[in-house]
Amino acid sequence: MLRKRFIFLLVIALGGSFLYYRNNKVAFRRGLNKVKRVIKKDSAGYDGSNPLTILTTQLITKHFNIHTNLDYERLDYFEKFFEGFFEYVDGEVFKIKQPKQLEVFLFDNLKTYGPYARYLTGPDYTPYGFYVPDLNIIVVNANTGLGTTTHELTHQFIYCGFDILPVQWIHEGIATFFEEFIGYLDADGKLHITFGYFSNTRLPLTKENFERLRLQSLIAQGNYPQPLIRSFIMFLHKKGKFKEFVRLVANSRVDPYGLDAIERVFGKGLDEIEVEWKQWVYELPMDNDIFLVEESFVKTEAEWEKWWSENKHRLYFDAEEEIYHVKDAYKKDSEQTTEEGVLKKF
């Protein structure tokens, strides 16, 4: 029954999308051409039109062409992090099949990042970073944390690695999954990293909006809230289905909405899966184990050894889940809020 409703809604959504594009295709082309002209336009001073007047250092790696104004020590760190993350996703999750190096505009802070972000995307630009597939660039504010960087990089990996582009919930779901992590770079520059942690802002929002957990809305609604999307991705992950699901969708040319992939990995119908998802979210405890990662980090080896020496009395590594957990004796309830400071409805 649920699948039939999905199909009906998807037909409507696809038809609406086609009509919208047909009626606005000239505007789309004009917008894209304008962006391309902006990128190529030279500037005597830095007003955002030519970021290379600020990003004067260039580093070409195996998978990235990095332009930055970071000092060499921070650039070395980001280069190893970028390549290490690429290798992790390519080796552990899905093949990226990148046709050429990704252009990376890596700014040191909001002051230098802001003018270019505003010039390219308008006054309501995100202060964190973004990916522009038509231009093959990722723009990063290095001061806003690594989680945003992995999120945007994942969008590029999906763009290159999937046989056909998936719909919004899959794109955003996979990207949000890779926002939360902890790890370190060893003395040889190899990245050691673990994924699969809950978000201390997204999960509380999901709990607060529990009544909106519907697979029908998740799959067919174009603007379904990211916290709710991530809850289903974490459900897949905690049930050991995430990587299998991603590979099925990545290698399919007939399942961009993930309907068949969801049923295949669980071996049951969508109605039953929805009930289990909602029950799983409802029963999640709000404790310091769930909210272990307050902010994603990748440390140097020396920093990691210090961090582990200070935390090994209360943490342990779960080899099956491949993540760290809080030992039972140190678990306690945790009051989490949104970034604005209070829980709210969507």
Strands in the chain per DSSP E: 57-60, 64-68, 102-107, 129-132, 137-141, 181-185, 191-195, 297-300, 315-318, 323-326
This prediction's pTM: 0.85
Please report the pLDDT score of residue 96 as a whole number.
97
Note whether 168 and 222 are within 8 A (CB).
yes
Q: Give DSSP secondary structure letters for 278-305.
A: HHHHHH---BTTTT--SS-EEEEHHHHH
Structural domains in the chain, sorted by start: 51-161 (3.40.30.160), 202-330 (no CATH)
Residues in the chain where the model's pLDDT stays below 50:
8, 12, 15-44, 338-346
For residue 269, which amino acid is it? G
Please report the pLDDT score of residue 333 as a whole number.
86
Strand pairing report for 181-185 and 191-195: antiparallel
Sequence-ordered list of residues with C-beta below 8 angstroms from that of 128, at least 6 positions apart, any chain: 141, 144, 145, 148
Please report the pLDDT score of residue 221 as a whole number.
81
Please report the pLDDT score of residue 335 as a whole number.
62
Please report the pLDDT score of residue 44 as a whole number.
42
Please report the pLDDT score of residue 28 as a whole number.
32
Please report the pLDDT score of residue 43 as a whole number.
35
Note whether 205 and 226 are within 8 A (CB).
no
For residue 12, which amino acid is it? I
Note whether 45 and 53 are within 8 A (CB).
yes
- Give 134-167 pLDDT, tens digit per residue: 999 999 999 988 999 999 999 999 999 999 999 9
Sequence-ordered list of residues with C-beta below 8 angstroms from that of 339, at least 6 positions apart, any chain: 201
* 227: nearest Cα among 321, 335, 127, 345: 345
Note whether 135 and 36 are within 8 A (CB).
yes
* 182: nearest Cα among 173, 190, 191, 174: 191
The first and second tokens of residue 164, run together, are: 């056909």
Q: Which DSSP category does 333 fall into? A: B
Please report the pLDDT score of residue 146 as a whole number.
93
Please report the pLDDT score of residue 216 as a whole number.
87
Please report the pLDDT score of residue 334 as a whole number.
72
